[in-house]
Amino acid sequence: MEKIRSGIIGTGFIGPAHIEALRRLGCVDVLAIADYCAEVAQKKAEELYVPRYYGDYKELLADKDIEVVHICTPNHLHFPIAKEALLAGKHVICEKPLALNSAEAEELTELAQKSNLVHAVHYNLRFYPLMHQVKQMIENGELGEILAVNGSYQQDWLFYDTDYNWRLDPKFSGDSRAVADIGSHWLDLVEFVTGIQVEQVCADFAIFHPIRKKPLKAVETYGSKVLASSDYEDVPIDTEDYASVLLHFNNGAHGSVTINQVAAGRKNRLFFEIYGAKKAVAWDSERPNELWQGRRDGNNEILLKDPSLLHQYARDVVSFPGGHNEGYPDTSKQMFKKVYECIQAKIQGHAIKPEFATFESGQRELMLCEKIVKSAREQRWL
């Protein structure tokens, strides 16, 4: 079977992770990359062994050989690139958040729905095998009615006031930072596994560093370079470092989530607990191969990821036997496998139901983010 030819736009952190996942699939030819200038694109193409490179994403979109585009740029570019890619007839896999706001996301969703193209948003965390297991357990009624869901998503990479990134500037990241950047993963994952939807939110925000020190020159490695105070400029910060959100779900369940990017020692920890009328489950993304199951009458258990112990639905996203841990890079591989099966089907003239986040899910996450930001500003339930 012929390989599908793809192009990746943006080659910072997540772009190369997409490339690695696609190469592990085998059915995709990563034909080209694009970055903001030819020099950077050439250097990255050499490092990543990609045959074609472009210093402008429009050139990649004009490449007739490219069938699928992965958008891995800062958030403000997702809307224009996704729109132009769909209009150029390319299937699109866009990083989260889908756009800067829900109006942009709505336009993209309408355009994607009118096209006969596959569209996806990279909510990859759904593809940890144990997340598919929880979804199937809840669908089977093993937890009973869902009563409460709580958890957090916490990181420490913005701990110091000298930590700086484009995500701190709303021009590039949107009006919400922590919620849109990582809270949206939590919300998407919890809605995916439980099958219930957030209906009302009441949010409390904090900015722990209202002034941050933005480096005046490029800093390659924070650890190996000490900057003098004259190398920084003070910039005011107006997006949240921290959010706590009370949640009401559409089945009557209650919940809460705390999102924090200034949480010492939490490298990248998404955690949730789901309490049902029969039993509970809890999961920590820093120990992704273990699922806690809690019971009132009887022993609590830890289920270890092992295909022979999982429901068929979860087994479908497992590549390795028990004891051979699967982690973050595997989630993108498993997600792209599903996305490219859909693309292959389209190419062959038929359609299969997407089993991943589409632009509709991306639009929903932005709508929830906007409500959470508004709720924090107005200090009330929405």
Binding site for ligand NAD (CB under 6 A): 9-15, 34-36, 57, 72-75, 77, 95-96, 122, 124, 181
Q: Which whole-number Å values give the CA distances from 214 to 76, 133, 161, 241, 311, in the listed order?
A: 20, 43, 9, 16, 49
d(CA 199, CA 247): 7
Which residue's CB is nearer to ligand NAD, number 48 or number 246? 48
CB of 188 to ligand NAD, least distance (A): 10
Residue nearest to ligand NAD (CB): 12
Which residue's CB is nearer to ligand NAD, number 56 or number 290? 56
Strands (E), 144-300: 146-154, 198-206, 211-215, 232-236, 242-249, 254-260, 269-276, 280-284, 290-294
Which residue's CB is nearer to ligand NAD, number 12 or number 294? 12
Tell me how far the alpha carbon of residue 137 is from its chain's centroid: 23
Enumerate residues 6+ apart whose C-beta is below 8 A from 49: none
3-state secondary structure of 26: coil
CB of 57 to ligand NAD, least distance (A): 5
CB of 120 to ligand NAD, least distance (A): 11
User: What is the rounded (10 degree) CA torsion for 212, 218, 224, 229?
Assistant: -40
Strands (E), the chain: 4-9, 28-34, 52-54, 68-71, 91-94, 119-121, 146-154, 198-206, 211-215, 232-236, 242-249, 254-260, 269-276, 280-284, 290-294, 301-304
Which residue's CB is nearer to ligand NAD, number 122 or number 305? 122
Query: 232-236 and 211-215 as β-strands: parallel, antiparallel, unpaired?
Result: antiparallel
CB of 328 to ligand NAD, least distance (A): 8
CB of 182 to ligand NAD, least distance (A): 9
Which residue's CB is nearer to ligand NAD, number 13 or number 49? 13
Which residue's CB is nearer to ligand NAD, number 72 or number 310? 72
CB of 42 to ligand NAD, least distance (A): 13
Which residue's CB is nearer to ligand NAD, number 124 or number 154? 124
CB of 366 to ligand NAD, least distance (A): 12
